[in-house]
Amino acid sequence: MPDPSPDPGVTGAYQPPAREAERFAPGALLAGRYRVVAPLGKGGMGEVYRADDLTLGQPVALKFLPPHLAADPDRLARFRREVAAARKVSHPHVCRVYDIADDGGQPFLSMEFVDGEDLSSVLKRLGRVPEEKGLDIARELCAALAAVHDQGLLHRDLKPANVMLDGRGRVRLTDFGLAAGADDLSATEVRSGTPLYQAPEQLAGREVTVRSDIYALGLVLYEVFTGRRAFPDARRDTPPSKPTSHVTNLNPAVEAVILRCLAPDPANRPRSAAEVLAGLPGGDPLAAALAAGRTPSPQLVADADPGDGPMRPWVALAFVAVVAAGVLVTGWLGGLALLAPRAGMREAEPAVMRHKAREVLAALGHDEPPAGAGYRYLGNHDFLDHRRAHDPAPGVWDGRWRGLEDGRPPAMLFIYRVARDPLAPTNYHVYRETPGVIDALNPPPLDPGMADVTLDLRGRLLRYHKVSDFLGPESPAPADWRLAFAAAGLDFAAFTANPVPPRHRPPLAADARVAWEGPYPDPAADRVRVEAASLGGRPVYFAVEFPWDAGEKAAAYPVNRPPMNPGTAVLLYGLPLAAVGLAVWHWRAGRTDLAGAARLAGVLFALWFVRWAVTAVHVTDSREELLLEIGLGAAMYQAVLAAAFYLALEPVVRKRWPWRLVGWSRLLAGRVRDPLVGRDVLVGLAAGTVLTLGFFHRLCGPVWAPELLDPPALGEVEFDPAWCVTRPLTTGVGAGFLYFFLTFLCHWVCRDQRVGAAAAVLIFTALVLSTNPASKPVTVALTIPAVSLGFQYVALRFGLLAFLAALLPVGWLFLSGWSLDVRAWYATGPNLGVAVMLALTLYAAHTATGGRLLRVAAD
């Protein structure tokens, strides 16, 4: 019920209502709906009556403006704002306001009738309440004020007279006449309120914030536990006396939280009412919110105390040891199974390969100095698939992949491109997560003067293509192909002795085509075909064709484009669309954490943009604008996608499993040194390192029938240090939100933890199999469910932050091509990524222990 006390800003004792001044006698019918029962009180701000709502059949309280203010436009506007503000808040400990009505030109509002008395009267009658009851009042008042703040409102007039206790002693926060958003207050409105219960900054007219309400809360709690006012008047030039100077045996935690609320500097006060509640003895704000059927706010979740405390140093060191051991084991597995060490990459350094490529170009007649150049290492997927289909030694660890080090047949390719102008990779022609990288078709080989060669890792020519000038002399003379055969390491005489009809059509202009077949020095392909073409007597095309390259659909360039299958379609369209739909639904219901989503999107946008900026090839002409647009577009898409998944899942998790978001909410709030944040990151990194072994087993196991680890999505041949460091932070977080959304969606829909876990495992397994068909069903049947259950355990036991951290080792240890061959030239990027991971692990361990880990290590 609202407070019938004097106007805010006016001090004085409460005046009981005078009978002769009553405007409505008992039994009067107002607005054709409300029958007056009795007056409840009168003050400078208006009159309050108890009435019966004849339409709904329930008691209500009616609040009228005084007659002299009923026609005041400013007072009427404030009256309407009170209704609008109060109706935004729905909480068991907040007095509900129903509506505003008018009777004969006299406006009034109807609200919940609270059969009890206000806290001011209780304190006047009792002096102070017992500590146990005071804690009950404090907890309920904190919960009510937190509900007000959750709606972006400030109460601005919190005082004992505006706190009702109903017949069962439960708190009802009342009187929203001054409630407003901080941004909606004018300079003259900042000081509105009761001076005895205002914060120093509000009295000075500087500002009013959530922490101003926290100060008023501290003043109220001071009275509740001591029976005295903290300050006799509105002056705040001296600190208040300690509550224990008035009351003996007061719980120290109560005194500490009250004095924190009354700190003169707002920055030293609790950040929220939820934090005040958490500081009270036995305070459990999440449990209180859930018990009240209310979805806790993100701030309430961030301020919740799981009760675990900082991690013990020896426990943190055990997690660090798990990560270190996992790094060594995955490095050993990488040396056994990764393609690069087996395909002869150690001797194929970029400087050496670029020099050989330029020699081949010069031998084929392309000797003009390039203005732009670029290179790529690619896995030869056609050969690898052929070798799997025609396994010469199944079940033998080295049998299937023996002999790759010589580069014949080529398991890996080196592509080198040159052009008269700087190469600007402004297209998406192959599967790429990061735009702006030069490859076989980006930019398209269309401009005159462009030329490219494909070599094996011993520098032998496999393919040559040149884009000729538009203008040029005609020459009937045949081209001399001896230098091309020499560059390819093939016997020119043996091939020219066996000419065959050409079947290749060069990508661009040519006026003569020839083809030969001849011997190839490898049992896997004892004969190969060579196709060549010339224009004006000069070579423009030369290609060595292996048996696995034949067919009508053979491509001119080695390009790996994973097909669009049902699983990919679900990941690309189905889950994002479902996430957007749920996000809109939550937003319309007012449940979304828009501020958290904005911070997440901003951080991801920055990470993706930095990843593009440090890995893309830039130019100094007008094409850089297009490159910038592509980079910004990719970063924006990934940021919006992650924000959509977050908005779709976060309200559900916050309502049903709020403890799973405590560490994440603290990180979003900028509390990077919080022990709980450190614990979640440390646990996630350790769990992810162990689960990464499952990914290796999925592709390489089992040990009795091992498999070569083909470059996943061309990832293993990305050796750029910046790419190896940033990819897990971007792709891992994005994939983490997608799978976290899928996991909790299954649990939310199934309403049973075991059924939800089984559904998530089945869906995840189906998606993996549809995007990566299984060649070893037994291995997949054992590995994928185990990995899925492991990630689900991390999500359900430790929450979102630990789950996202668990995805990071997959990128640093698996996708970047990490192995113990740390001295190889291509190990710089993977080494740096692993170093970042280990540094993050140590920092998380130090933070998880509350800063004790380094001190223990020093001792």
Residue 492's φ and ψ, nearest 5 degrees, are -60, -45
Per the residue annotation, which of 103, 157, 213, 674 is the catalytic one?
157
**787 contacts 794 by C-beta, under 8 angstroms:** no
Helix (H) or strand (E) holding 654: helix 623-656
**How far is the C-alpha of 445 from the C-alpha of 470, rounded, in Å?**
14
Give exposure, 502-511, as e/b (b: 16+ Cβ within 10 Å): bebebbbebe
Cis peptide before 443 (omega within 30 of 0): yes
Give exposure, 537-550, as e/b (b: 16+ Cβ within 10 Å): bbbbbbbbbbbbbe
- Contacts of 357 by beta carbon, 8 Å cutoff, 6+ apart: 375, 414, 416, 453, 455, 459
- Contacts of 38 by beta carbon, 8 Å cutoff, 6+ apart: 26, 49, 50
Using DSSP bridges, classify how beta strands 171-173 and 116-118 pair: parallel, antiparallel or unpaired.
Answer: unpaired
Q: Report DSSP letters for 525-564, one per residue.
A: GSEEEEEEEEETTEEEEEEEE-GGG-STT--SS-------
- Contacts of 666 by beta carbon, 8 Å cutoff, 6+ apart: 302, 674, 676, 677
- How far the first Cα of the chain sits from its last, in Å, is 61
The sheet that has 451-455: what strands, in order across it? 372-379, 412-419, 451-455, 461-466, 538-545, 527-535, 512-519
List alpha helices for 589-622, DSSP H: 594-615
**How far is the C-alpha of 516 from the C-alpha of 528, rounded, in Å?**
9
Cis peptide before 270 (omega within 30 of 0): no
**How far is the C-alpha of 843 from the C-alpha of 678, rounded, in Å?**
8
Report helix, strand or coil for 42. Answer: strand
Whether 157 is a known active-site residue: answer yes
Q: Residue 104 burial (CB < 10 Å; 0-12/13-18/19+)? A: exposed
- Contacts of 124 by beta carbon, 8 Å cutoff, 6+ apart: none
List alpha helices for 350-501, DSSP H: 350-363, 381-389, 482-488, 492-496
Angle at 515 between CA 513 and CA 519, to 5 degrees: 160
Question: 29 to each of 17, 46, 115, 239, 303, how far by Cα in Å?
Answer: 21, 19, 21, 52, 49
**By 3-state DSSP, what share of the chain in percent is helix, strand and coil, each rounded to 5?**
50, 15, 35
**608 contacts 638 by C-beta, under 8 angstroms:** yes
Please choose, from the candidates 278, 618, 206, 713, the residue with its C-alpha nearest in 3D space to the C-alpha of residue 426: 618
For the CA atoms of 260, 262, 265, 269, what is the dihedral angle to 10 degrees? Answer: 40
Amino acid in position 327: V
Residue 231's φ and ψ, nearest 5 degrees, are -130, 135
Partners of residue 270 on adjacent β-strands:
none
Q: What is the largest CA-CA distance in the chain?
A: 126
**How far is the C-alpha of 341 from the C-alpha of 216, rounded, in Å?**
68
Tokens (6 digits) for 523: 């049992």
Tokens (6 digits) for 526: 């004892």
- Contacts of 30 by beta carbon, 8 Å cutoff, 6+ apart: 24, 36, 51, 62, 101, 103, 108
- Contacts of 83 by beta carbon, 8 Å cutoff, 6+ apart: 97, 99, 100, 109
Active site residues: 157
